[in-house]
Structure 1
Amino acid sequence: MVPPAHIPTLSPRARPAGSVRIIGGQWRGSKLPVADAPGLRPTSDRARETLFNWLQPMLHGARVLDLFAGSGALGFEALSRGAAEALLVERDPALVQALYESCERLHAGDAAKVVRADALEWLRLPVHGRFDLVFVDPPFADGAWAAALQRLPPWLARDAWLYLESPAGVAPDPGAGWRLHRESATRDARHALYRHATADAAGNGPA
């Protein structure tokens, strides 16, 4: 996978300031760079481990959408644990370049697709696929949960799952048709996993 030629080289200020590691699956222990970028706040190792323990029964073969992808920690973790495809949407050009580099380093092939776009504008495009699992974890300062959730339904498979990460004490409303499946909290963030109520009624997905 070759990144578009117009994506610029990382500037010195945007050089990776740290890293997060993939916790489980085929890429376990692999590191993903975390750039010094405004609003970039990767989900912690502990929170990701808890989340993917919840998700493990449904991940095999799943099609995943990682909005506001940042470091790609959620999307790459899903692929590592058996998802068939992950689409990572990110608007920051330096972060997009880092995502392409992570794809190449992990030999992700066609399983990982990176899109340089504003997530909210991208959701306005004609639907070209539906997703089994969606991660909505925008920069907290942007307050983009409501707009993203409003535009998301056409992109969802009937039995989709939805992960929302928000500041501690803030619980974005995913809207009608969702049932809270699991949630946890750290000092800084709330981590909530929802499932379609129709899927729950049909007995699909993990218990």
Structure 2
Amino acid sequence: MRVIAGQYKGRQLKAVPGKNTRPTTDKVKEATFQIMGPYFEGGKFLDLFAGSGALAIEALSRGMEWGILVDKSPKAIHIIHDNLKSLSLENNTEVFRADAFRAIQAASKRGLRFDLILLDPPYAKGDYEGLLNEIVSLDILNKGAIIYCEHDHTTILNSSHKSLSLIKQQKYGGTITITIFRHDT
């Protein structure tokens, strides 16, 4: 697993051991960031199911200035810290072991607003609609913010959410679909 583009292009990242995480493939990561960016001029992100931190690190490599990485797994949190340290990105991030809904609520209480939110939960456990509704209702998005959702191809996401516009929905291989929304207000 490696960083695809930007400041840390080509740098190798550790993966979370075991079968509970599913790293986003380099092909999907590259295609997705071409749609979303491909580069950013600063901004803040929230990665709610960070796994190894690879998507968040890709965002930082491509110009995001700061972000929060969240995962429930102690193994994932350990690997995230290792990957961030290997690239000297500890000062550009906060890492929390928490449930995604609690992380959204905590960000709202802190008054944080984001330009990019990454939703890539374990496919069988992803309450995408609930997460999208919570993100919108707690007003943690800056105008023009992007929400990235990676999900199983059998999961159908509602294309109309209050203040969100569907930008792209693309299937990769036989199992992965990427859905990208933009916050309009």
TM-score by length of 2: 0.89
Distance 2:19 2:66 in 1: 28
Residues 132 and 95 of structure 1, relative CA distance in 2, 3 Å threshold:
same
- Contact 1:182-1:192 at 8 Å conserved across structures: yes
82-91 vs 172-181, greater mean Cα deviation: 172-181
- Please give the alpha-carbon distance, in whole angstroms, between the structure 2 residues aligned to 1:148 and 1:38: 24
Q: Does 1:162 align with 2:163?
A: no
Residues 138-192 of structure 1: CA deviation (Å, up to 9, x unaligned): 1111132122112112211122111111101322226222212122211111012
Equivalent pairs, count? 179
**Partner in structure 2 of residue 6 of structure 1:** none
Give the corresponding residue for 1:151: 134
Query: Aligned to 2:157, which of 149, 172, 191?
Result: 172
Identity of aligned residues (%): 32
Question: Match of 1:147, SS?
Answer: helix
Report whether the alignment pairs 1:197 with 2:184. Answer: yes
Kindly provide the amino acid, as one letter, of the partner of residue 181 in structure 1. Answer: I
Kindly provide the amino acid, as one letter, of the partner of residue 92 in structure 2. Answer: A
Q: Which runs of 5+ in 2 are unaligned?
A: none
Distance 2:176 2:20 in 1: 14
- 1-structure distance, mates of 2:15, 2:4: 16
Q: Tell me the C-alpha RMSD between the 2 structures.
A: 1.7
Gap change, CA 1:190 and 1:124, over 3 Å in 2: same
Q: Give the corresponding residue for 1:89.
A: 70
Q: Distance in 1 between matches of 2:113 and 2:129?
A: 20
Q: Which residue of 2 aligns with 1:185?
A: 171
Contact 1:64 1:133 in 2 (8 A): yes
Equivalent-residue separation in structure 2 for 1:176 and 1:54 (angstroms): 22
1:52-104 CA distance string (max 9 Å, x none): 11222562202111111101111000000111112111111111011111111
Kindly state the Cα deviation for residue 197 of structure 1 after the two structures are TM-superposed. 3.2
Amino acid at match of 1:80: S
* Bigger-Rg structure (1/2): 1
Query: Can you give the 5+ residue segments of structure 1 that lack an aligned partner in the other structure?
Result: 1-19, 199-207
Letter in 2 for 1:98: I
1:4 matched residue in structure 2: none
